[in-house]
Amino acid sequence: MSFNETLKSLIKSKKSHLCIGLDVDKSKLPQSVLSTDEPILTFSQQIIKYTEDITVVYKLNLAFYEALGEKGYRILKDTLSMIPKEILTIADAKRGDIGNSSSKYAEAVFDDLGFDAVTVNPYMGFDSVEPFCANPEKGVFVLVLTSNKGSSDFQQIESANGIPFFLEVARKITEWNGNDNIGMVLGATHPEEIESAVKAAPKLSVLIPGVGNQGGEGSRVKNIFKDNDQSPFIVNSSRGIIYASSGEDYAVKAREVAKELRDELN
């Protein structure tokens, strides 16, 4: 089964469009966790335990682990081992390089770490993305329109034919979707543009970050997809969920916020 079909099936069976970002920053952990031998692992384990039944995906931003060096790589692997096999995992790595380098990045993310999907930057063109797409069972989420403030610097510039650059990207990557495993990254802070991109590329899966702390609204995202059964979509929240409380009840509060967002999206 292709990645997009797997994602669609999982969304349907769990009745959830929720993706939780495990972007764990030690400086933001509750004091009760900091006193343990492995604070980051302890924190992640509890977040997973309290949310695994309501989320379809966990997204791990590799920067938070790479910054810790060799220890971070071990923590990353240990965290992945705690996630139930039926839940999909995304390596938020935003990779993109010349073909042979991208091949090695793909090996690292898929073969060594065992992620189900990865985020990639399409700026260098198809040959930089192609190695990630080789296995239909592995997902590739391409940056199309991101949620950060600087996204307008390039992504919304109009091309010579008057079409915003992000729409050109959305249309182009549909041509790369021969294995039915490509998706778009579309920031929740741009609801009108999300609608345009989904219309331009209706059969791609969609990863939507930016809900919560970055200002995006789950209800607006839901309305975009209410009459669309072709595009499986997931909405990511990281800080808004995992740091919902700085007290000993952090996992309980994370579950409460996660359930609220899941229900808002259904």
Question: Domains (ranges, CATH) in the chain?
Answer: 3-265 (3.20.20.70)
Which pLDDT score is estimated for 159? 84
pLDDT at 216 over 90: no
Please report, as a single letter, which amino acid is at residue 260.
E
Neighbouring CB atoms inside 10 A of 223's CB total: 12
- 5 vs 101: CA distance, rounded Å: 28
The length of the chain, given as a count of residues: 266
Q: Is 27 exposed, middle or buried (0-12, 13-18, 19+ CB in 10 A)?
A: exposed
- Given this model, what pLDDT does residue 222 score? 83
Predicted local distance difference test score (pLDDT) of residue 45? 98
Catalytic residue among 94, 222, 253, 259: 94
Report which of residues 7 and 148 the model is more confident about.
7
Residue-wise pLDDT for 103-117, tens only, equals 999 999 999 999 999
- Taking the C-alpha atoms of residue 110 and residue 237, their distance in angstroms, rounded to an integer, is 23
Q: Which helix (H) or strand (E) holds 186?
A: strand 182-186
The model's confidence at residue 152, banded by pLDDT at 50, 70 and 90, is confident
pLDDT recorded at residue 149: 84
Query: For this structure, is 94 an active site residue?
Result: yes
The pLDDT value given to residue 223: 85
15-44 per-position pLDDT tens digit: 999 999 999 999 999 999 999 999 999 999
153 pLDDT above the threshold of 60: yes
Given the DSSP bridges, would you call strands 233-237 and 18-21 parallel, antiparallel or unpaired?
Answer: parallel
How much is the mean pLDDT over the chain? 94
- Report pLDDT for 248: 95
The least confident of 52-66, 81-95, 189-203, 236-250 is 189-203
Provide the pLDDT confidence category of residue 228 given band limits of 50, 70 and 90: confident
Q: Coil, strand or helix: which one is 29? A: coil
Reference 88, options 232, 216, 188; nearest CA is 232
Type of residue found at 184? M
Torsion of CA 222, 226, 231, 233, to 10 degrees: 20
- pLDDT of 215 strictly over 70: no
Contact assessment for residue 236 and residue 227, using Cβ atoms and an 8 Å cutoff? no
